[in-house]
């Protein structure tokens, strides 16, 4: 059930959420009554569709950590899981204090571009792939309103080629060190 109360020159809309024996409320303040009514209708519709509105206030780093430890731990190999755990620190730094309900492609892209200023394109691409997976999971569970992961672009610094050929003297030295069977 939703309520709208006038508070001075603004209107506060409240949507009651009750799930699994726990009672929560989602509130938002608007400058006019029409916007408040529209928001409460949208929230009630999403609640009716089974969307998890109460969990939308979860911080993205907390959600990502939970996703890595519950979903990915059993799905991937140990080495890949260690790689996912390394991204936890990066996600904590980039998205500190950002709730799931405030995430969109523009905010996400700004944070990824900030990370890309000091990292290679390949590293940024791997991070974006992991974030996309978590966003798809959040969308499937109804924690975000749309799946914008495919809109994220991975940019980064082009690293110079590090293919340095051996000189003839170093090649001969290496050949003398290696056994003849190679």
How is residue 49 written in tokens?
């569709």
Other Cβ atoms within 10 Å of 63 Cβ, number: 24
Contact 157, 125 (CB under 8 A): no
Contact 68, 108 (CB under 8 A): no
- The H-assigned helical ranges of 2-154 are 33-48, 60-67, 73-75, 78-94, 105-116, 121-140
pLDDT higher at 12 or 16:
12
**The domain defined by 60-151 carries CATH number 3.30.1600.10:** no
Render pLDDT for 94-144 as a digit per residue (tens, 0 to 9).
999 888 888 888 999 999 999 999 998 999 999 999 999 999 998 888 788
pLDDT for 125: 93
- 121 closest CA partner among 153, 93, 82: 153
What are 27's strand-pairing partners?
14
Domain boundaries, the chain: 2-53, 60-151
pLDDT for 157: 81
CA distance 134 to 39: 26
The mean-pLDDT minimum among 13-27, 58-72, 89-103, 129-143 falls in 13-27
pLDDT for 144: 82
Contact 16, 40 (CB under 8 A): no
Cα dihedral across residues 15, 145, 115, 130: positive or negative: positive
Mean pLDDT of 66-71: 91
pLDDT for 56: 67
Q: What is the pTM of this model?
A: 0.65
Give me the chain's average pLDDT, please.
84
Mean pLDDT of 143-153: 85
Percent of the chain exceeding pLDDT 70 equals: 91
- 62 closest CA partner among 152, 149, 143, 153: 143
């Amino acid at each position: 059930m939703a309520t709208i109360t006038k508070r001075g020159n603004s209107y506060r809309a409240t949507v009651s959420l009750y799930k699994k024996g726990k009672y929560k409320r989602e509130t938002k303040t608007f400058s006019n009554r029409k916007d408040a009514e529209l928001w409460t209708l949208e929230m009630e519709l999403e609640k009716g569709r089974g969307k998890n509105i109460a969990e939308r206030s979860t911080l993205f780093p907390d959600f990502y950590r939970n996703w890595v430890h519950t979903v990915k731990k059993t799905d991937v190999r140990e080495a890949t899981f260690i790689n996912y755990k390394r991204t936890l620190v990066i996600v904590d730094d980039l998205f500190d204090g950002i709730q799931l309900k405030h995430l969109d492609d523009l905010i996400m892209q700004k944070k990824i571009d900030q990370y890309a200023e000091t990292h290679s394109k390949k590293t940024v691409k791997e991070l974006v792939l992991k974030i996309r997976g978590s966003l798809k999971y959040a969308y499937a569970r109804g924690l975000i309103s749309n799946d914008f992961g495919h809109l994220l672009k991975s940019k980064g610094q082009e690293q110079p080629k590090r293919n340095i050929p051996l000189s003839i003297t170093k090649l001969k030295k290496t050949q003398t060190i290696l056994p003849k069977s190679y």
